[in-house]
């Protein structure tokens, strides 16, 4: 597997490339963001956020605008906002410095495994035609209040407006939406949305939850059950008239009142 490492610090890049090569990876090294963007597309990108010529967040945005290549951010930044922003822009995962090569390799394998399209089970489709996603009426669309999730196309709409989710954010949402209102433990979410027996830091779950809440526009969509996990619930006010429509309704009502007043 060919890996593109965009990292300006040779003290980090040298040992990292050596370690990855021991695990059988072919590594191309770029020291600047511009060099990384000009490099041939790899199977996965390891992207440092602190680059000398441009912010790693901008590199992530540029990569994602033209490619679906998996991206793992490498960061020494403590600010959660940077990690959330990177994930919102399309990065698939992140590791915080310092980290071990074995952990990074495990994350690379997990991310690439998730990015690989599933192999259809033709025998199962023959046994049960109702499970064919192309069949009209197949139940791949789920609606939770104004939220619509299409698992076949991996598209999400809120109030009929599309929401752009990173692959991991979509996996997290579908995990919580499998049983709306039910509490999913942190371990259950990690095993489902990440990988079975996930052993990395669980902080990555909190970062993705924060990013997903922001994209849903209301943090109350995902409730934190302290010490247990999370659950997906439609906020009580989601069916209220959106602000723009409410303003129009209020304006129409005011105009109608004015006309009524004139008649009197």
Please write the tens of the pLDDT for every residue from 187-228. Answer: 888 878 877 656 666 788 888 999 999 999 989 999 998 888
CATH of the domain at 152: 1.10.10.10
Could you list the residue range(s) of the whole structural domain that residue 224 is in?
Answer: 141-232
Q: Strand 2-6's sheet: what is its strand order?
A: 26-30, 2-6, 44-48, 71-75, 93-96
Residues 105 and 157 in one domain: no
Tell me, what's the pLDDT at 146?
92
Q: What is the pTM of this model?
A: 0.51
Sheet strands side by side (includes 229-232): 184-185, 229-232, 222-225
Do 80 and 150 sit in the same domain of this protein? Answer: no
Read off the pLDDT of each residue in 58-74 and give the average, rounded to a whole number: 90
Question: Which two three-digit tokens encode residue 23?
Answer: 């695990």
Distance of CA 188 to the CA centre of its chain: 18
Is residue 153 located within the same domain as residue 102?
Answer: no
């Amino acid at each position: 597997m060919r890996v593109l490492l965009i990292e300006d610090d040779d003290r980090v890049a040298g040992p990292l490339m050596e370690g990855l090569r021991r695990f059988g990876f072919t590594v191309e090294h770029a020291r600047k963001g511009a060099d990384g963007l000009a490099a041939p597309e790899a199977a996965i990108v390891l992207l440092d956020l602190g680059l000398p010529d441009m912010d790693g967040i901008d590199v992530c945005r540029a990569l994602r605008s033209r490619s679906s290549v998996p991206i793992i951010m490498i960061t020494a930044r403590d600010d959660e906002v940077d990690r959330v922003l990177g994930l919102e822009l399309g990065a698939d995962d992140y590791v915080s410095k310092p980290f071990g090569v074995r952990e990074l390799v495990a994350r690379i394998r997990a991310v690439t495994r998730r990015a690989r399209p599933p192999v259809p089970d033709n025998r199962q489709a023959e046994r049960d035609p109702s499970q064919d996603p192309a069949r009209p009426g197949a139940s791949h669309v789920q609606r939770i209040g104004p939220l619509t999730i299409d698992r076949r196309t991996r598209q999400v709409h809120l109030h009929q407006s599309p929401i752009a989710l990173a692959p991991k954010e979509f996996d997290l949402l579908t995990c919580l939406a499998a049983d709306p209102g039910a509490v999913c433990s942190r371990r259950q979410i990690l095993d489902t949305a990440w990988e079975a027996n996930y052993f990395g830091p669980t902080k990555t779950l909190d970062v993705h939850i924060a990013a997903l809440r922001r994209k849903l526009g209301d943090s109350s969509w995902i409730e934190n059950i302290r010490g247990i996990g999370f659950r997906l619930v439609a906020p009580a006010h989601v069916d209220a008239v959106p602000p723009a429509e409410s303003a129009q309704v209020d304006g129409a009502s005011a105009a109608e009142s004015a006309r009524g007043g004139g008649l009197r």
